[in-house]
Amino acid sequence: MVYNERRRSSPALFAGIVAGLGGAAAIVGAVLPWISTTGEGGRIGISGLGSITGSQLGGSNLNDLIAIGGVGSYRPGLVGLVAGIITVLLGIGIVLAAAGGVRGSRPWRWVSLPLLLLGVLTAGWGLWRTFAPGTAAGVLAAGDAAAGAGPVVSAIGGVLMLVAGGWLLSGRADPAPVTRRSAGIQR
């Protein structure tokens, strides 16, 4: 069967752009504050990678302070960072493949499943950390801190990954078969 490469490339191109935006949102969400609380000097924020802002400890990293006590580490944004980097690479691949014309009856199935898996992971992690910010590796008691913008932005990125993966898995971006017409009987 012959497939028209150009006819349906714009839905795949759109899905690649949406996937790239979802990955970028997850990356941005990783560096935004994940926990905010009030302290002596006002609001204190702790980013998804552990950096502290808004206190006399501003500019230092929570993970360095935790390492002194041997408690563990605090990097909840690492999930969104890794998923975002993989998703941006997948989005670039989708855009390049869609622009160059794809062949085959279902060319997007291989890339839709990782997008869906990364989307569920990122959106679920972001939503869970939004509604239950946790104890920040034992530094803060439960209920002492509120969720910052980081988990919300990561969850939005995960939803965009789900949209792109679902669009590609549904087959709406697949190239449509081209029907060949014969000239018929000519006399």
Q: Is residue 179 part of a domain?
A: no
Residue range 118-147: mean pLDDT, rounded: 79
Q: Is residue 182 part of a domain?
A: no
CA end-to-end span of the chain, whole Å? 29
Low-confidence winner among 12-21, 79-88, 136-145, 165-174 (lowest mean pLDDT): 136-145
Report the alpha-carbon distance of residue 87 to residue 30 in Å, rounded.
14
Q: Is residue 123 part of a domain?
A: yes
Domain that holds residue 138: 9-32+76-170
pTM (2 d.p.): 0.77
Q: How far is CA 125 from CA 8, 11, 19, 33, 136, in A?
A: 34, 28, 18, 15, 15
Q: Is residue 128 part of a domain?
A: yes
Q: Is residue 94 part of a domain?
A: yes
At 37-94, the pLDDT tens digits run 776 667 777 777 777 776 655 555 555 555 555 555 677 888 999 999 999 999 998 8
As a whole-number percent, the residues of the chain with pLDDT over 70 amount to: 65
Between the ranges 20-29, 70-79, 93-102, 103-112, where is the mean pLDDT highest? 20-29
Report the alpha-carbon distance of residue 6 to residue 70 in Å, rounded.
58
| Average pLDDT of the chain, as a whole number | 78
Q: Is residue 58 part of a domain?
A: no
Between the ranges 90-94, 148-152, 158-162, where is the mean pLDDT highest? 158-162
Report the alpha-carbon distance of residue 79 to residue 184 in Å, rounded.
60
User: What stretches of 103-176 adopt beta strand conformation (E)?
Assistant: 146-147
Report the alpha-carbon distance of residue 173 to residue 94 in Å, rounded.
11
Asked whether residue 19 carries a pLDDT value surpassing 90, the answer given is yes
Q: How many domains, the chain?
A: 1
Q: Is residue 42 part of a domain?
A: no
At 108-131, the pLDDT tens digits run 778 889 999 999 999 999 998 888
Confidence of residue 182 (pLDDT cuts 50, 70, 90): low
Per-residue model confidence (pLDDT) at position 146: 82
Q: Is residue 186 part of a domain?
A: no
